[in-house]
Amino acid sequence: MFKEILLGITIAFALFAAFLGINGAPLFFIAGVFLLLNYIMENKGLITSAKNIGKPESEISFEDIGGQNTAISELKEALDFVINRDKIAKMGIRPIKGILLSGPPGTGKTLLAKAAAKYTNSSFVATSGSEFIEMYAGVGAQRVRKLFETAKNLAKKENKNSAIIFIDEIDILGAKRGTNESHHEYDQTLNQLLVEMDGIKSDGDISILVIAATNRPDLLDPALLRPGRFDRQVVVDLPDKSGRLQILKIHTKNKPLGEDVNLEAIAEDTFGFSGAHLESLCNEAAILAMRDNSDVILQKHFVEAVDKVILGEKSDRKPTEEEIYRVSVHEAGHAIISEMVNPNSVATVTIVPRGKALGFVRQTDKEDTLIYTKEQLEKDIMVCLGGTVAELLVLGNRSTGSANDFEQAVDIAKKIVYTGLSSLGIISRDDVSKEKVNDEINEIMREQEEKVQKMLEKKLGQLKEIANILRKEETISGDKLRELISEKEAAIA
């Protein structure tokens, strides 16, 4: 449209100039420059076109997505409005225009959007929030308009009566207006998206549904979240144990598993893993099996893959003998305290360096916990402090290896304070002074450290023995650890 208008104006001026006897060559030159710039913008991607709008690489259905039964159920309920558009029109129901998927990275938000397209038999157009932000004024708004045009044209081309527009990283495009004071292009682009969503109608030839994904829904502009735009918000959270088991089964369908593989045990040991983590876990286990020249993937490969996904590849750096013994004492301290406050909680103790960690105690959660008592949080702090207290008792001093433990312990102590479980009672996070919070955290840490020290002093012999075994064997399973502790207690009795 822009090119046609420019061409018409240029010809009119040229004819008028020729009538007056004026040379019109400069006008044609200027028009040529504008047309060239427009051509460059289109071909360099400064104006969105259908060629850089992605379609799903493969047909994905909800059956291919594990661990998100609640999210899928909520999403299907909203998608039924797209499928039964005639029925909802008879009932006078306003169509749902937008669905917001929010949750941590790797939980399957993009997969859910692709599955939604198959479920509703809709054309699928995907893009990212960052695609709309440019230094050129007006380009972002033009891209938004082009996006909706592309979705309609694609649906017509595929002979479908509905299209789904998926916008990943919507928080980049839909951030609260005024937060980018030096760049009003952000606000113009968001305004255009709001206008386009308001223009979605149920009586058109093509039904448009916008699905967006974000990790930070708190950053979004309130106008975007009001009813009539993103009508539904679906939380796509980390999977629980049964969800993790379901995901593991999906990702091991095409892999040869050994007879000793226990997926339920792996699901139990992977608390806090997202779907992406579990997919990587299965892939890494297969790689480890291939390195061992094994025809099947064994349980040991999955166990090692868990550590690799959490901490990374084994480090080539070889610690000194002194460092090895200190790490052994440190990890033995963590493990013993963990078993004392939460029996059967240790899955593995290792001093094999991975990533930046020289050692690691992997714990297993029998049940996924959503709420915690003060006593449970205090036990978690005690486990964090077990390593540094063990170093102090056995070696007579502490080391910088406890820095990460202290950070975790402080975060847990803050949770105690801010949830009203400390001696300060219920407080306002905004009104309480940092000094008062810091003093309370220090007191919590001091009390728990005293408890840990008393507990390890009674287990000093076991601590040294387990540290020595760990130094020689490098890795001890949770069952072996509990066996060593029980044997020592029986010998003392």
Active-site residue set: 331
Cα-flanking dihedrals φ and ψ of residue 362, to 5°? -95, 125
CA distances from 335 to 217, 251, 290, 307 (A): 38, 31, 32, 16
H or E stretch at 51: none
- The Cα–Cα gap between 128 and 212 comes to 9
Task: Give ∠ CA 234-237-240 in degrees, rounded to 5.
Answer: 135
> Phi and psi for 25 in degrees, rounded to 5?
-60, -40
Which among 333, 335, 452, 462 has a CA at the least distance from the CA of 382?
Answer: 452
What values do phi and psi take at 476, rounded to 5?
Answer: -130, 130
CB 23, CB 17: distance < 8 Å? yes
Any idea of the CA torsion for 347, 353, 358, 361, to the nearest 10 degrees? 0
Residue 403: count of CB within 10 angstroms of its CB:
9
- Contact between 163 and 151 under an 8 Å Cβ cutoff? The reply is yes
How far is the C-alpha of 147 from the C-alpha of 129, rounded, in Å? 12
Query: Using CA atoms, how far apart are residues 364 and 432, in angstroms rounded to an integer?
Result: 36
